[in-house]
Chain A
Amino acid sequence: DGGITQSPKYLFRKEGQNVTLSCEQNLNHDAMYWYRQDPGQGLRLIYYSQIVNDFQKGDIAEGYSVSREKKESFPLTVTSAQKNPTAFYLCASSITRLALAQETQYFGPGTRLLVL
């Protein structure tokens, strides 16, 4: 089955700890994205990558880091500098960088991060 997987489903972070969220896709999509969703708010873009070994900051990149060493994988690290990390984190991918008409994104099942 083709799709996007995220792990873990739930993640607990202690104060001052860095944690890494996994995102893998087997859709052969070039572009991958990380979003954060808070209750009552729209999805906010954290980072995105249009090609291997390249990534760009989104609207709320502070306190987060990413890597894109393989086309299939785009892990997100929530660092201790992120002071309010409790949220639902969603990974998405698209065939290219959304430049084609009607091209859109497909999402993984998400990871819920909670601070202890």
Chain B
Amino acid sequence: RKEVEQDPGPFNVPEGATVAFNCTYSNSASQSFFWYRQDCRKEPKLLMSVYSSGNEDGRFTAQLNRASQYISLLIRDSKLSDSATYLCVVNLYGNKLVFGAGTILRVKS
């Protein structure tokens, strides 16, 4: 089983739609969690950290479920500019990040 697993997609959604991605991780001792965004042929950029209580940044909401070992990202009112690959990232041992393979989002007009 992979340490971090994501549905590769692609998720094809119309502008204005709400879309959600899930990510599961295998190690219950994982300490911190992040979502990164990666545009085509570019470097990953931090989108948001994921806190135990859940957190929101504008149209983006991240949730953590430690009992079921998954994190989620919800995007409301999708924009064309949201089209990208979204990477789920887990800090497994306090000194190493493990990256999921990413979920592709395509927002269409």
Contacts and interface: CB of A to CB of B under 8 A. Distances in A.
A54 to B, nearest CB: 13
B32 A40 contact: no
A43 B95 contact: no
Q: How large is the interface on B (under 10, 10 to 19, 20 to 34, 35 or more residues)?
A: 20 to 34
Contacts, number: 50
Contact of B42 (A42, A97, A105, A109): A109
Contacts of A90: 43-44
17 contacts: A35-B99, A43-B44, A43-B99, A88-B41, A90-B44, A97-B95, A98-B94, A98-B96, A98-B97, A102-B32, A102-B51, A104-B97, A105-B97, A106-B46, A109-B42, A110-B42, A110-B43
Task: Return the 7 tightest CB-CB contacts between A and B, nearest first.
Answer: A107-B43, A42-B99, A43-B99, A42-B101, A98-B95, A97-B95, A102-B49
